[in-house]
Amino acid sequence: MSTPARILLVEDEINLARGIRENLEAEGYTVEAVGDGLTALDRIRRKEYGLVILDVMLPGMDGFTVCETARQEGRDTPVLFLTARGGGDDRIRGLEAGGDDYLAKPFQLRELLLRVAVILRRRSRYDAMTALEPVVRFGDNEFDFRSFRGRSWDGSDQILTQKEAMILKVLAEREGEVVWRDDILEKVWGDDVLPSSRTIDNFIVRLRKRFEPDPEHPRYFHTIRGIGYRFVAAGEEATS
């Protein structure tokens, strides 16, 4: 990356916010800090950030709603959630809200810095991956990797998360070929904590719901049992 990322820090605990800010600045990042959800949303609408570090429990508007609202408006700034609750439900809620990662309080600042670096690296990898062929068309579906927006066969708007878009990219780049699950894991998750293969299955289910006229009988996103997936841009009946 040429210029160090500008980070929006949204945290209402003043001492914690100060600690995070000092550590990020020591790493060379530019940091803007705000303490409530509505101000955060306003900043996200007005400015470009490399990353938003977003506390969940906030005055005004909670972090999940801030992220969801930004995503619905087509804003794709990466989001790292911070929360006091370490439960699995919150993790899922965070991912559904369009978050990129999740860190439960209390956490080590070193751990936070690692996560920040991973998210920023992943974003620049995504930008590099999608630069050459930024648009994919299959059947009556169309998706633009730059804006994370597309239109599906029935004319509905589709706004994908970064992970959904990356999986689509990895499959579309090797159109017609069987892509192994491990390849998807490596390309999409890279040096992150690897998800279970069921997580990838769930992402494929989501892509089918978005783009397949009949998700139960996919024509574009085929499962190759025990191995991986195959994307067929022209569409064909699955044989297995």
| Positions in the binding site for Ca ion (CB under 5 A) | 12, 55, 57
Cβ-based nearer residue to Ca ion, 12 or 183: 12
For Ca ion, which is the closer residue by CB, 29 or 81? 81
Residue among 94 and 228 whose Cβ is closer to Ca ion = 94
Of 102 and 229, CB closest to Ca ion:
102
Nearest residue to Ca ion, by Cβ distance, number only:
57
Q: How far is the CB of 71 from Ca ion (least distance, A)?
A: 21
Nearer to Ca ion, 1 or 14 (CB): 14
Min dist. Cβ of residue 79 to Ca ion (A): 15
Which residue, 43, 103, 114, is CA-closest to 77? Answer: 43
> Do the beta carbons of residue 34 and residue 104 sit within 8 Å?
no
Count Cβ neighbours within 10 Å for each residue of 109-133 and write b for 16 or more, e otherwise: eeebbebbebbbebbeebeebbeee
Q: Minimal distance in Å, beta carbon 113 to Ca ion?
A: 20
Minimal distance, residue 31 CB to Ca ion, in Å = 17
Counting DSSP H helices and E strands in the chain, the numbers are: 8, 12
> In angstroms, what is the minimal distance from the CB of 57 to Ca ion?
4
- Cα 85-202-162 angle, rounded to 5 deg: 75
Judge contact between 218 and 212, C-beta under 8 A.
Answer: yes
CA dihedral sign, ordered 149, 151, 152, 155: positive
